[in-house]
Amino acid sequence: QKEVEQNSGPLSVPEGAIASLNCTYSDRGSQSFFWYRQYSGKSPELIMSIYSNGDKEDGRFTAQLNKASQYVSLLIRDSQPSDSATYLCAVKRGNQFYFGTGTSLTVIP
């Protein structure tokens, strides 16, 4: 069983819509959860971190964590073409980080 699982996509949404990205993790000892955005040919960029159950909002981005279900999601409101990228879910347990394989998002103008 993989530590972190994401739907690989690709996910396509029209401009202005809400994009919903999902991630599950296998180890209940995971303590911190992150979303990274990676543009083609670039390095991953941290966009959200969440540590406790519930929602965390930052601008157009909302991260949601449900530790009971071992589920973390990222919502992108008012999606823009510039949001087109691969989104990586990561969890931290101890000092080790575990990454999903990423979900490719395309926002269609």
Among 5, 56, 99, 106, indicate the residue that binds another protein (CB under 8 A).
Answer: 99
Among 1, 69, 95, 109, indicate the residue that binds another protein (CB under 8 A).
Answer: 95
Examine residue 43 and tell whether it contacts another protein (CB under 8 A).
yes
Question: For every residue of 25-58, which 3-state class applies, written as one string?
Answer: ECCCCCCEEEEEEECCCCCCEEEEEECCCEEEEE
The three-state secondary structure class of 81 is helix
User: What is the DSSP pairing of strand 71-76 with strand 96-99?
Assistant: unpaired
Examine residue 39 and tell whether it contacts another protein (CB under 8 A).
no
Examine residue 49 and tell whether it contacts another protein (CB under 8 A).
yes
Instruction: Identify which of 42, 32, 39 has the alpha carbon closest to the alpha carbon of residue 4.
Output: 32
Among 34, 62, 63, 105, indicate the residue that binds another protein (CB under 8 A).
Answer: 34
Q: Which residues contribute to the site for another protein (CB under 8 A)?
A: 31-32, 34, 36, 42-46, 49, 51, 88, 90, 92, 95-102
